[in-house]
Amino acid sequence: MTEQGAVPAVAVIADLVGSRLLPDRASAQEQVLHAWAEAHGQVCGSASSHADGQAGTDETSSGTAGDQPPAPGAGQVPPWATVGDEFQAVYPDLPTALRALLRVMLALQEPVRLRFGIGLGHVTALADGQGGPIQDGDAWWSARAAIEAGHERDATAATLEVRSAAGDAAEDGEAVPGLEAAAARLLEHLIGAMKPRERRIVRATLDGVYQKDVAEAEGISQSAVSQSLTRSGGRMLVDVDHLLAQAAGRPARTGQEHR
């Protein structure tokens, strides 16, 4: 049964892989929050974050100065840090969530990696805490089940798992069959196999950066950038991002990759 005041949403929980082995956990957490806030702004239109306990208002290439995040419980909340090495965010639908996480995974620099648990269901706003919103709902239970499943599958890898609320038994979450699970697993595999430069090239392409500018930044030729996109599977990721944007009814910002 759905609680009164609950809205359909996609809850995302992430934690740092091997956090105890990181030389500087504080900088790793800062890197995650920065990358995720930027990614959230690019796919949702607001680059604000609850990282400092309040909404940010800095202008970015994908947001507008003064943008305010939706109210907690609205089905879309920017990323915030919780306890330990865990982070959370809320999206209105799965395609939008996957587009954001795709950008986060590409942006993080080794050895910083995240394990993601995505929960489909409903969220309910309880209060607005100092570090981020306080929410409940079966989407969060499913996200918790998803991240635990990813850890069980491979405790040392940056996994991406999806689970869905299952009626009265939603606390355990159900594995999501079909296209959703396949898309998440393919993103995980493709990005996990990429070298750092390949990730940077794909990330820049998703940002709409011209190939000649990417080549200059990387110190390589423009043809090498194009070859990297093809060889690494990056061009496929750009196409997937376009398809996910269409599924979510949002415009994709890329389109300059061949220039």
Who contacts 214 (Cβ-Cβ below 8 Å, separation ≥6)?
201, 204, 205, 225
Residue 41 carries which side chain, given as an amino acid letter? G
pTM: 0.82
Mean pLDDT, 10 residues at a time, the chain of 259 residues: 73 92 89 95 67 34 34 68 90 95 95 94 79 81 93 92 70 65 89 96 96 97 97 96 90 55
* Nearest by Cα to 14 from 125, 128, 118, 135: 118
Q: What average pLDDT does the structure give for the chain?
A: 82
Q: 81 pairs with which residues across the strands?
A: 87
CB atoms within 10 A of CB 157: 15
Who contacts 166 (Cβ-Cβ below 8 Å, separation ≥6)?
172, 173, 174
Who contacts 208 (Cβ-Cβ below 8 Å, separation ≥6)?
253, 254, 255, 256
User: Mind listing the pLDDT tens digit for each residue in 11-44?
Assistant: 999 999 988 888 888 899 999 999 999 999 999 9
The CATH number that domain 7-176 falls under is: 3.30.70
